[in-house]
Amino acid sequence: MPHRIVHMLRARGTGRRPVMLAIAGDSAAGKTTLTRGLVECLGEDRMTAVCVDDYHRFDRRERQGKPFTALHPDCNYIEIMEQHLQLLAMGEPILKPVYDHGTGELVRPELIEPRDFVIVEGLLPLYSKMARACFDITVYLDPPEAQRTAWKVSRDTTKRGYTADQVMEEMRRREIESAAFIRPQRRHADIVVRFGSVSGRADPPQEPLSAELLLRPTVDHPDLAEVVHGADALHLKLLRDTDGRPVDALHVHGGVSGEEAEIVKKAIWERLDVETPFPASLGTLADGATSDPVAITQLLLLYHLINADRLRMAS
C-alpha cells in the first residue's frame, strides 16, 4: 500500500522541473549584481529570481531588541525557506514573504511561479542540508572583506538609509554570525567566485576588478584549458582548496581586452552547442559600468544552467 506521500507525488503529475541555481554570500558580496545580469540575459519569461533574505523572521525595528542579527538562522524562517525551495524545485508555485530592503519592513507576500530556471540568492540558501538538496548548481561569492565593506558602506548609505558609522557598527555586530553561518556555506559551493585583485597582482584603480573562480569537480565544467589557451589575461591554474584538495581556478584579469574577452566568451558558448543565441549584454554593474570578469562569470553560470536543462530534457 503506497504511502500518502507517494499518492501526493503521483497526483502532482509530471510537470517540468526548473534548473535551480543558488548564489550564496554575505551582505553586499555582489549576489544581486550577478543575478540581475542572468535574468536580463535569459528574460523573466524563462528565469525566476528569488531572494531568501525575504524569509527574515523580524523586521529591522524588531531586530534591534534581539540578541542576534539578520544573519542568524534563528532570525529567519529557515524551515519555511526549505519548504519553498522544495516546492520550487518541483516546479510548484509559492507565496513568498517579502522583506523591503529599502525600509526594513516585511510587506505583502508575492506569488512566485518557477520558470525554466530559478536563481535563489541570499545570505543562507546553502545553510541546511535540505536547502542544498534543492539545487543543481551552487555558487558562493567570496570578495575580500575590505572590498565587501566598501561595497556595503557605499550601497547602504545611498540606498538603505544608513550612515557610514552605522554600517560599520552593524558589520562589527554581524562578524561572529558571519563566521558561524555565512562563510561555512563556501564549502558547499560548486563554484567560488572572488572579485578583487588576483593574488600577487595589484589591479589599477580604473580597471574593473579581476575575478578568480574556483571550479570544484562537483559539477562538469566546460574544457576551459582549450578556451584560454594562448590568452594574455585569462589563466587556468591548479590551486589547493581550503581542504587541501587540488582545484582548478580560472583567473580573469580586470584589464582583459574587449577582443580577448569576446573570443573567450564565444568559445565557452560554442561548447554548449545550443540554439540559444549568444548573450551579448552581460557584465553590467549597479552604476552602469561594465566588467568583462563579471560577464565571463555570468557566462559560465549560463553555461551550467543551460547544460543542466539540456541534460534533464535528454534524460
Ligand X SMILES: O=C(CO)[C@H](O)[C@H](O)COP(=O)(O)O
Rule CB under 6 A: is residue 50 a binding residue for ligand ATP? no
Of 75, 182, 172, give the one whose Cα is nearest residue 123: 182
Among 19, 22, 24, 27, binds ligand X (CB under 6 A): 27
Q: Which segment (3-11, 53-61, 89-97, 143-151) binds ligand X by CB under 6 A?
A: 53-61
Least distance in angstroms from the C-beta of 101 to ligand ATP: 6
Q: Computed over its alpha carbons, how large is the radius of gyration of the chain?
A: 20
- If one counts every other C-beta atom within 10 angstroms of the C-beta of residue 300, the result is 23
- How far, in Å, CA of 82 to CA of 181, rounded? 16
**Residue 100 or residue 223: which is nearer to ligand X going by CB?**
100
Rule CB under 6 A: is residue 31 a binding residue for ligand ATP? yes
Least distance in angstroms from the C-beta of 40 to ligand ATP: 14
Q: Where are the beta strands (DSSP E) in the chain?
A: 19-25, 47-51, 94-100, 105-112, 117-122, 137-141, 191-195, 211-215, 234-240, 246-252
Among 30, 73, 91, 104, binds ligand X (CB under 6 A): 104
Q: 160: number of CA atoms within 13 Å, CB side?
A: 19
- If one counts every other C-beta atom within 10 angstroms of the C-beta of residue 244, the result is 7
Least distance in angstroms from the C-beta of 11 to ligand X: 37
Rule CB under 6 A: is residue 53 a binding residue for ligand X? yes
Rule CB under 6 A: is residue 162 a binding residue for ligand ATP? no
Rule CB under 6 A: is residue 120 a binding residue for ligand ATP? no
Neighbouring-strand partners of residue 9: none
At 140, the amino acid letter reads: Y
Site for ligand ATP in 197-216 (CB under 6 A): 209
Interface ranges with ligand ATP (CB under 6 A): 25, 27-33, 151, 155, 195, 209, 285-286, 291, 294
Binding residues (CB under 6 A) for ligand X: these are 27, 53, 56, 60, 70, 101, 104, 123, 160
